[in-house]
């Protein structure tokens, strides 16, 4: 027997988030305030209009504007802390959050300033709030392989209690993903975890490059995976996780008209460890709880499947095995308490 998943229950379900960008999680109101403070002009001063985009390129040009408003360590501290606060409100208990220094170092902000602010914001949030957040340094793919190597070099020297690994984002079309092999090899050599945005609005071949030639342990998005059945079988066998962001693929990459048409359900049916994530909750005005509600509604998933999606986030994380086991025990206890509160039978 299965149990229907209600919206209020899903909002409170404990969750893991593995694909969330700190800059894209910034509140419009915060960006407006920081832009005014630093004399940065924005395309709109209406928080409801600031984040308007219809494809990845337009989204990234607004991302650039957001990043132009971030100048000091305090600015980065604020957006990191607020991103954690908003995560807590969505039920996120554990998050591995991206930050992308490439967008601001080209404006003259030192990478050390970015790290000082983001790491302090996350450290304070971990102390004050019911969340454990870790960080992933994303390099900017269009800036090229030398920037990628430089970012790996920076990452290798950061505090490993907070910084888990390296990733890569921004545009995908027209980028030779194999050109980053040396950067990812250097990251592996330094003991950094590795992931990359691939197969978002680009082909499944970029996913193949990520797992075969870049040594990535996860793939961010992986929307086009099912185009390649052999690669799909390999990803299932090796339990390489995808960090899927269904709403983002609708409203940012614009590769599918709605969540119901997204391949997530088919990926999961075929055994892919496909997790659910928000990507850029501030810019999309949709957090991870909204994402869980949208996914349950789109595929008619019962509560049991939504609880499994939450547990899959733990498996897909870069927590050590004992950390995964502890988080799993906590989630299972919270699932039981939430069910009891809603008068539902225990999970089997």
Interface with Zn ion, residue 23, by CB under 5 A: no
User: Is there a contact between 74 and 113 (Cβ–Cβ < 8 Å)?
Assistant: no
**Candidate list 170, 206, 243, 310; residue touching ligand HPA; CB under 6 A:** 170
Binding segment for Zn ion (CB under 5 A), chosen from 113-121, 124-132, 147-155, 272-280, is 272-280
Cβ neighbours of residue 329 closer than 8 Å, sequence gap 6 or more = none
Interface with ligand HPA, residue 86, by CB under 6 A: no
Range 44-103, binding Zn ion (CB under 5 A): none
Interface with ligand HPA, residue 169, by CB under 6 A: yes
Number of residues that bind ligand HPA (CB under 6 A): 10
* Catalytic residue chosen out of the listed positions 23, 172, 200, 217: 200
Cβ neighbours of residue 76 closer than 8 Å, sequence gap 6 or more = 22, 70, 99, 113, 114, 116, 117, 118, 121
**Helices 229-237 and 204-212, packing angle to 10 deg:** 40
- Tell me the three state secondary structure of residue 209: helix
Interface with ligand HPA, residue 222, by CB under 6 A: no
User: What Rg, from alpha-carbon coordinates, does the chain have?
Assistant: 19
Cβ neighbours of residue 318 closer than 8 Å, sequence gap 6 or more = 96, 134, 164, 165, 193, 217
Q: Is 200 a catalytic residue?
A: yes
Interface with ligand HPA, residue 200, by CB under 6 A: yes
Q: Contact letters (x/-) for Zn ion, 223-242, by CB under 5 A?
A: --------------------
Q: Contact letters (x/-) for Zn ion, 273-302, by CB under 5 A?
A: ------x-----------------------
Q: How far is the CB of 243 from Zn ion (least distance, A)?
A: 8
Interface with ligand HPA, residue 134, by CB under 6 A: no
User: Is there a contact between 57 and 171 (Cβ–Cβ < 8 Å)?
Assistant: yes
Interface with ligand HPA, residue 290, by CB under 6 A: no
Interface with ligand HPA, residue 95, by CB under 6 A: no
Interface with ligand HPA, residue 280, by CB under 6 A: yes
Task: Give the residue ranges of DSSP H helices in the chain.
Answer: 7-12, 28-38, 47-50, 56-68, 73-89, 102-105, 111-128, 145-156, 181-189, 204-212, 229-237, 246-251, 264-269, 281-284, 288-299, 303-316, 321-341
User: Is there a contact between 221 and 242 (Cβ–Cβ < 8 Å)?
Assistant: yes
CB neighbours of residue 48 within 10 Å: 9
Q: Which is nearer to Zn ion, 82 or 201 (CB)?
A: 201
Interface with ligand HPA, residue 279, by CB under 6 A: yes
Interface with ligand HPA, residue 278, by CB under 6 A: no
Residue in the shown chain whose Cβ atom is closest to ligand HPA: 169
Range 240-269, binding ligand HPA (CB under 6 A): 248
Range 22-81, binding ligand HPA (CB under 6 A): 24, 63
Q: Which is nearer to ligand HPA, 55 or 153 (CB)?
A: 55
How far is residue 312 from each of residues 113, 154, 234, 327, measured CA to CA in Å?
A: 34, 31, 18, 12
**Helices 303-316 and 288-299, packing angle to 10 deg:** 130
Binding site for ligand HPA (CB under 6 A): 21, 24, 63, 169-170, 197, 200, 248, 279-280
Catalytic (active-site) positions:
200
Binding site for Zn ion (CB under 5 A): 279
């Amino acid at each position: 027997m299965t149990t229907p998943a209600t919206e209020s229950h899903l909002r409170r379900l404990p969750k893991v988030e593995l694909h969330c960008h700190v800059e894209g999680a910034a509140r419009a109101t915060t960006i407006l305030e920081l832009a005014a403070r630093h004399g940065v002009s924005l395309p709109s001063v209406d928080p409801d209009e600031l984040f308007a985009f219809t494809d990845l390129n337009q989204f990234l040009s607004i991302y650039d504007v957001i990043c132009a408003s971030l100048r000091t360590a305090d600015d980065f501290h604020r957006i990191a802390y607020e991103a954690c606060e908003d995560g807590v409100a969505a039920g996120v208990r554990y998050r591995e959050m991206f930050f992308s220094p490439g967008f601001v170092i080209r404006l003259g902000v030192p990478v050390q300033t970015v790290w000082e602010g983001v790491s302090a914001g996350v450290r304070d949030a971990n102390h004050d709030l019911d969340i454990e957040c870790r960080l992933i340094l994303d390099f900017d793919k269009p800036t090229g392989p030398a920037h990628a190597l430089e970012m790996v070099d920076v990452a290798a020297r950061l505090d490993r209690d907070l910084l888990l690994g390296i990733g890569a984002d921004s545009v995908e079309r027209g980028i030779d993903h194999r050109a980053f092999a040396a950067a990812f090899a250097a990251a592996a050599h330094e003991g950094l975890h590795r992931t990359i945005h691939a197969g978002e609005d680009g082909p499944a071949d970029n996913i193949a490059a990520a797992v075969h030639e870049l040594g990535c342990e996860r793939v961010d998005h992986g929307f086009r995976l099912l185009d390649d059945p052999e690669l799909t079988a390999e990803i299932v066998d090796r339990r390489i996780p995808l960090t899927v962001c269904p709403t983002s693929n609708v409203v940012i990459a614009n590769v599918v008209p709605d969540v119901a048409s997204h391949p997530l359900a088919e990926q999961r049916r075929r055994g892919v460890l496909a997790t659910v994530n928000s990507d850029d909750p501030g810019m999309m005005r949709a957090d991870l709880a909204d994402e869980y509600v949208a996914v349950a509604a789109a595929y008619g998933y019962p509560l049991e499947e939504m609880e499994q999606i939450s547990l899959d986030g733990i498996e897909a994380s870069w927590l050590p095995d004992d950390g995964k086991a502890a988080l799993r025990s906590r989630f299972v206890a919270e699932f039981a308490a939430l069910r009891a509160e809603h008068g539902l039978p225990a999970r089997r």
